[in-house]
Amino acid sequence: MTHVDMWTDGACKGNPGIGGWGTLMRSGGKERELFGGEKETTNNRMELTAVIEGLAALKRPCHITLHVDSQYVMNGVQSWMKGWKRNGWKTRDKKPVKNQELWMALDEQVARHQIEWVWVKGHAGDPGNERADALANMGVDEARGS
Provide the number of structural domains found in the chain. Answer: 1
Catalytic residues: 9-10, 47, 69, 123, 133
pLDDT in tens, 120-141: 998 899 999 999 999 999 999 9
Region of residue 122 (phi > 0: left; psi between -120 and 50: alpha; otherwise: beta): beta
pLDDT digits 0-9 by tens, 61-120: 999 999 999 999 999 999 999 999 999 999 999 999 999 999 999 999 999 999 999 999
Residue 76 DSSP symbol = I
SS3 39: strand
> Do 6 and 23 meet the contact criterion of CB atoms below 8 Å apart?
yes
Burial 3-37 (b: 16+ CB within 10 A, else e): ebbbbbbbbbbeeebbbbbbbbbebeeeeeebbbb
pTM of the model: 0.97
Query: Of all residues in the chain, what percent are helix, strand and coil, respectively (each to 5)?
Result: 40, 35, 25
Domain span at residue 85 reads: 3-144
73 burial via Cβ count (<10 Å: 0-12, 13-18, 19+): buried
- How far apart, in whole angstroms, are the C-alpha atoms of residue 115 and residue 76? 14
CATH number of the domain residue 14 falls in? 3.30.420.10
